[in-house]
């Protein structure tokens, strides 16, 4: 006789929490409560066999800024560039917004700084007639001038997609830090492969949080929602994806 996946109590709990939740969320909750190691696929199959429906699942994208921060941006936006606004907001609220993110917030709310990005007819440049040290030109930067945005080789930043990058060469060459760390230990990443973060945190770049998989396996993981914030759950998801890939290849050979 085949062993049941869940006992009566566990099955009742799964049914009670299913409304509005994905199979990944359900798996995480039931595993935590009963100390199980169910995968998303097992939960999905169990729901199908027992005709358990989640209903409409709402996915909410985390807000980039709070209402308070948004109101502050609205208050200071007039007459300032996106870069200036980003600096002020980051300084006041301890955030790390980029100029592109500020531009997006302004665009969604239809806020205008009033700046056109060009000199209006009849306007006079602020530096007209002023000499910069070491140059005979009146309105140009002197030779060798370094921008205030310049970063030294070895400095780090977080890009707009949330990845940690490190500057590896001048003038502006950056590489993902997690890739550098992994390749230092294991050598170049083979063609057709990529690194994933087991706990889904792009800024957790410890070696034990990185795993090399093929792009084909990654596609299977995405298709079947096999990622989780728990490292071991994601590893199990990768193993399931490998099985799917192997089955697919065998079918193609036939």
Chain segment 116-139, per-residue pLDDT in tens: 555 555 555 555 665 555 545 555
Please report the pLDDT score of residue 153 as a whole number. 82
Q: How far apart are CA 85 and CA 203, in angstroms?
A: 25
Tokens of 197: 């973060």
Q: Tokens 């065998």 identify what position?
A: 250
The total number of residues shown for the chain amounts to 254
Give me the CATH code for the 156-247 domain, please.
3.90.75.20
Q: What is the pLDDT of residue 114?
A: 78
pLDDT value for 254 = 73
Mean pLDDT of 104-121: 75
Mean pLDDT over all residues of the chain? 83
What pairing do the DSSP bridges indicate for beta strands 164-169 and 173-176? antiparallel
Are the beta carbons of 160 and 98 closer than 8 angstroms? Answer: yes
Region 237-244 average pLDDT? 94
Mean pLDDT of 229-238: 93
Q: What is the pLDDT of residue 244?
A: 92
Q: Per mean pLDDT, which range of 110-119, 153-162, 181-190 is the poorest?
A: 110-119
Which of 88-92, 110-114, 166-170, 217-221 ranks highest by mean pLDDT?
Answer: 217-221
pTM above 0.75, yes or no: no
Q: What is the pLDDT of residue 148?
A: 59
Residue 242: per-residue pLDDT: 94
In terms of phi and psi (left: phi > 0; alpha: psi -120 to 50; beta: otherwise), the region of 253 is alpha
């Amino acid at each position: 006789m085949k062993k049941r996946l869940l006992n009566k109590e566990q099955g009742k709990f799964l049914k009670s929490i299913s409304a509005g939740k994905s199979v990944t969320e359900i798996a995480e909750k039931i595993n935590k409560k009963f100390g199980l190691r169910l995968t998303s696929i097992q939960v999905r199959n169990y729901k199908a066999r027992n005709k358990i429906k989640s209903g409409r699942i709402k996915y909410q994208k985390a807000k980039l800024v709070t209402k308070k921060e948004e109101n502050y941006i609205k208050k200071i936006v007039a007459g300032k560039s996106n870069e200036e606004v980003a600096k002020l907001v980051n300084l006041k609220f301890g955030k790390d917004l980029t100029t592109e993110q500020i531009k997006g917030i302004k665009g969604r709310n239809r806020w205008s700084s009033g700046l056109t990005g060009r000199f209006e007819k009849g306007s006079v440049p602020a530096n007209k007639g002023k000499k910069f040290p070491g140059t005979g030109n009146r309105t140009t930067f002197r030779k060798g001038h370094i921008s205030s945005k310049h970063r030294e080789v070895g400095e780090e930043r977080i890009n707009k997609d949330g990845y940690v990058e490190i500057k590896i060469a001048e003038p502006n060459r950056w590489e993902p830090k997690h890739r550098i760390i992994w390749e230092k230990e294991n050598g170049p990443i083979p063609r057709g492969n990529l690194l994933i973060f087991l706990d889904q945190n792009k800024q957790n770049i410890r070696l034990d949080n990185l795993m090399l998989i093929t792009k084909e396996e990654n596609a299977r993981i995405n298709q079947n929602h096999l990622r989780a914030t728990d490292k071991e759950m994601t590893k199990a998801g990768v193993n399931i994806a490998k099985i799917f890939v192997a089955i697919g290849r065998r079918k193609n050979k036939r």
